[in-house]
Amino acid sequence: MHEPKLLILDEPTAGVDIELRRSMWEFLNEMNEKGTSIILTTHYLEEAEMLCRRIAIIDRGVIKEDTTMKSFLSQLNEESFIFDLAEPIEPLHLDIIGVRFNLIDPMTLEITMDKAHTMNDLFQLLESQNIQ
């Protein structure tokens, strides 16, 4: 592929498996670092967070929010983290207020937690479950 100045993508990872999704984001990050501006639509905030410095939220054709990614994320009440695990795990059945677990596949864990919890809390939780 040549080095375009602008790349416009509409839901680039919709219906794509996890491995291809990761490869695609690595490629898009490389393109962006080399100077290509990227405009994309996505329903996955974590995808936008990985690549974008600015974000616009559009609802039925109306821009509801247009700000920096940092400013937008500071308004949210919870955060999600996706972990690539060293070893496969079984689904977690933990009942912790303000924390939700989603095992995407045996090697990929998504944890969503209220901002009342810290990263230290999260890492202590992972350690207590022997998750690396």
Q: What is the CATH number of the domain that holds 59?
A: 3.40.50.300
Is pLDDT at 89 greater than 90 in this prediction? Answer: no
- Give the predicted TM-score (pTM) of the model: 0.54
Does residue 1 belong to any structural domain of this protein?
no
Same domain, 61 and 96: no
Same domain, 61 and 85: no
For tokens 């955060």, the residue is: 79
Rounded CA gap, 81 and 27, in Å?
21
Q: Strand order of the sheet with strand 108-114? A: 78-84, 108-114, 99-105
Alpha-carbon torsion (104, 48, 114, 119), positive or negative: positive
Is pLDDT at 1 greater than 80 in this prediction? Answer: no
Does residue 111 belong to any structural domain of this protein?
yes
DSSP H/E element including 109:
strand 108-114
Please give the residue range of the domain that contains residue 20.
6-74
Q: What are phi and psi of 93, to 5 degrees?
A: -120, 65
Is pLDDT at 42 greater than 80 in this prediction? Answer: yes
Which residues sit opposite 101 in a β-bridge?
A: 111
Same domain, 45 and 82: no
